[in-house]
Amino acid sequence: MTVEITTLPSGLRIITDSMRDLETASIGVWVGAGSRDEMESEHGLSHLLEHMAFKGTKRRSAKAIAEEIESVGGDLNAATSTENTAYYARVLADDTGLALDIFADILTDSVFDAQELEREKSVILQEIGAVEDTPDDLVFDLFNAAAYPGQPIGRTILGTPERVSSFDRSAIETYLGRHYAAPVSIIAAAGAVDHQRIVNEAGERFGALAPQQKSRPSPALYIGGESIQKRRLEQTHVVVGFEGRSFHDEEEFALHVFAYAVGEGMSSRLFQEVREERGLAYSIYSFHWPFLDTGVFGFYAATAPSDVRDLMPVALDCMSAATEDLTTAEVDRAKAQMKVSLLTALESSSARAEQIARQHMAYGRVLQRDEMIGRIDGLTLEQVRRAGARSLRSAPTVAAIGDVSKVMTQAKVAARLA
């Protein structure tokens, strides 16, 4: 890896990874502000701001933004998450300057036109409605709200129709001024990139990005609970979860490996026992999502309502048993899967740009290839088992949507594991 890092006087970090033999570059701006940074009255504002950034600046209309990037064969997109917001593009090597100019324009000089704002709010209301019609997405919103009740990290990224409808230009500008600052922003690029050229162009174009540090979001506290929503659906969608690890917890990688061993892939325990041996679900998998100061671990399944009663205890027993009898072969297989997942990002410029940006935000540095592999390979069977056991001792969170008459309550899940 050829990672180079420069921090401008404003605090803006430039991180690049030159990838030989490529003729295109992936470049973007990652801002360390997401949905958990919102006050309750701002719920959904991070996502709305991401949409509005493309709706016109003092120099470019919304159409002009799209036409300029596409006229050179590039594409432009953005995404909002719990802890950051990303604006990114894929272009030919010679057009990174154009991409940076557009990013600087939309992040420091957007006009937030009133008519465009009303149209985009309507689009987001439709997006919220789409999630309501997608139970395998909605159940995770219910899960997060139950895991972190009354906290920003537990709120949906999209917001509510009431909140989104109430936002005006002043609300957007206030949020932008409070959170979009140079010290919490990263310009990351990978592929056919010249580090010094990007540093020079970023220095010229991002001078208007505020140099002050933003306040950190309030600490998250995993609590656990349950959120059960009855609906007329063909399947019942269930998520059962527990406290996971943060990026800074020494057991972060161990719990990742445990999650892979228990429920990632067709050879995992959950897939083999729940789907292959018993036919209780078409879809079942485990997950571990770390954040800066917390994390969640658990499994998702979609099954026939009549099978929920059997599926949940079987899945819980699989996970519990793995904390005691997970084998070296299973751990080695999970390690291999995790290494392939991490190393795949080294072969794609877009994935690599995102990886180096997110790693620097999470760890304060970019993890080297050998370090990532070393962390995984260095884990012992006992460390992986212990990480899983620690999570399963935490308070459960249960979320379900559909015919929920046979769903185990939080208390019953806890009793089963005890």
What pLDDT is recorded for position 1? 61
The reply to whether 232 and 166 lie within a common domain is no
pLDDT in tens, 61-84: 999 999 999 999 999 999 999 999
pLDDT in tens, 25-39: 999 999 999 999 999
Is the residue at 149 inside a domain? yes
Of 171, 205, 239, the last residue of a domain is 205
The reply to whether 171 and 278 lie within a common domain is no
pLDDT in tens, 11-20: 999 999 999 8
Report the range of poorest mean pLDDT among 222-226, 338-342, 377-381: 338-342
Task: CATH number of the domain at 91, please.
Answer: 3.30.830.10
The reply to whether 266 and 410 lie within a common domain is yes
CA distance 186 to 254: 28
What pLDDT is recorded for position 179? 93
Give 215's pLDDT tier (boundaries 50, 70, 90).
confident
Identify whether 67 is a catalytic site residue. Answer: no
Q: What is the rounded average pLDDT for all residues in the chain?
A: 96
What pLDDT is recorded for position 217? 80
Q: What percent of the chain has pLDDT over 70?
A: 100
pLDDT in tens, 264-283: 989 999 999 999 999 999 99
Is the residue at 129 inside a domain? yes
Set 23, 40, 42, 50: catalytic member? 50
Q: What percent of the chain has pLDDT over 90?
A: 94
Our count of domains for the chain comes to: 2
> Is the confidence at residue 235, as pLDDT, over 80?
yes
Is the residue at 309 inside a domain? yes
Q: Domain span at residue 259?
A: 225-417
Mean pLDDT, rounded, for 326-350:
94
pLDDT in tens, 356-384: 999 999 999 999 999 999 999 999 999 99
Is the residue at 123 inside a domain? yes
The reply to whether 236 and 318 lie within a common domain is yes
The reply to whether 200 and 263 lie within a common domain is no
The reply to whether 24 and 164 lie within a common domain is yes
The reply to whether 248 and 168 lie within a common domain is no
The reply to whether 164 and 36 lie within a common domain is yes
Is the residue at 186 inside a domain? yes
pLDDT in tens, 171-180: 999 999 999 9
> Is the confidence at residue 249, as pLDDT, over 90?
yes
Is the residue at 220 inside a domain? no
More confident residue, 124 or 343: 124
Give 263's pLDDT tier (boundaries 50, 70, 90).
very high
CB atoms under 10 Å from CB of 168, counted, come to: 12
Give 152's pLDDT tier (boundaries 50, 70, 90).
very high
8 A C-beta contact, residue 278 and residue 318: no
Of 135, 170, 205, the last residue of a domain is 205
The reply to whether 153 and 301 lie within a common domain is no
pLDDT in tens, 180-214: 999 999 999 999 999 999 999 999 999 888 888 77
The reply to whether 410 and 314 lie within a common domain is yes
Of 205, 235, 265, the last residue of a domain is 205
The reply to whether 374 and 345 lie within a common domain is yes
Is the residue at 214 inside a domain? no
The reply to whether 61 and 200 lie within a common domain is yes
Is the residue at 217 inside a domain? no
Mean pLDDT, rounded, for 385-406:
98
